[in-house]
Structure 1
């Protein structure tokens, strides 16, 4: 559901989940759209969203900093370069540079695409909700204008 979709599909999604006569609530539309999604896609999307949410925090940054410092201390301080790794920093940089990048980049892109799609759906629902409110506001203004005109006519009759 969160793949790139056109404006027509988003409008159709919002229209399908809008309740007649009530303003459109974007969170309800998003929840209904999630329920339509396949279970595997929901699980993958949930995992991507949460991995990116954790990886984008300072706690994760501090964890990586402690991991690198611990690795360096373990390999050079305690083992004096006689550990299982004859090149003590190559494995560390292979893990951090290669594997983590190959895992995080697609995960971040997936989470970014999902967030953009949620934003598009929310924007469409917001647009429809605000349009409904403007229509109600216009009807109320027209009613007030007609009441003002009637009051003005009554006032003129009274003065004549």
Structure 2
């Protein structure tokens, strides 16, 4: 397998990971130049070493704009270097809901629906009618319905913390969604910025190639003109 020696570390790498200094974007090239002043356009660097400088460049941008990097900023930088989607990073952190949490969500969902309101009103009407009319107010819970009041108090006492538990979980989900949106927007902004730099870098190289090509064409034209002049002079001499 063919290899090459990195100009900055002196280590040997596969030839497939070779990157020429002249192909680096100016911002990345300047970062390498800061650590290794002898690094030039003809120097070689490995792709794995280049990834480290890309991460350093992105971190520098974020620090200049946001100050200290947060955990979310670090996740964005890692996802860019690993070519990983933000949603994949979030999915890895998600934990499966416990049995109690699922019950809390279902109770809160049912307790906040018209089905619960109408069914509970029907239950109250049936309870009152049963005790006051069908059992002639001599049933198991005559007026003023002390047992019913106790039952309603117990339901309210149990339902309130369950609903609060579900609301807390919903707030946590909303916070994670907001963090995810922040990371997606930040990554998109950084990728657009690096894309602009890549385009500028390509345009500069293309301009240099066009200038060199034009210069080469001019040299050919000059040679042809000189040859034509020589032929004309030789013909005139005859």
Structure 1: gaps spanning 5 or more residues: 1-9
RMSD after superposition: 3.2
Matched, 1:25 2:81: no
Please identify, of 46-55 and 83-92, the stretch whose mean Cα deviation from structure 2 is larger. Answer: 83-92
Q: Which has the larger radius of gyration?
A: 2
Give the aligned partner of residue 7 of structure 1.
none
- Distance in 1 separating the partners of 2:199 and 2:101: 50
Counterpart selection for 2:191 from 111, 130, 136: 136
Give the paired residue count: 138
1:45 positional shift: 0.9
Could you tell me how far 1:122 is from its partner in structure 2? 2.1
- Correspondence 1:74 to 2:126: no
Match of 2:179 in 1: 124
Instruction: Pick closer, same or farther for the CA change 1:106–1:31 going to 2, 3 Å.
Output: farther
Q: TM-score, normalised by structure 1?
A: 0.69
Q: Secondary structure of 2:95's match?
A: helix
1:48 paired with 2:111, answer: no
Assess if the C-alpha contact under 8 Å between 1:48 and 1:111 holds in 2: yes
Say yes or no: does 1:102 pair with 2:157: yes
Between structures 1 and 2, the one with greater helix share: 1
Structure 1 CA distance, aligned partners of 2:141 and 2:114? 29
Per-residue deviation, 1:146: 5.4
Q: State whether residues 132 and 142 of structure 2, in contact with CA within 8 Å, keep that contact through their aligned partners in structure 1.
A: no
Aligned to 2:121: 65
Partner of 1:83: 139
- Cα distance in 2 for partners of 1:142, 1:133 equals 14
Q: Would the aligned equivalents of 1:30 and 1:122 in 2 still touch at CA under 8 Å?
A: no
Please give the TM-score of this superposition, normalised by the length of structure 2: 0.48
Q: Using CA pairs below 8 Å that are at least 6 residues apart, which structure has the higher relative contact order?
A: 1
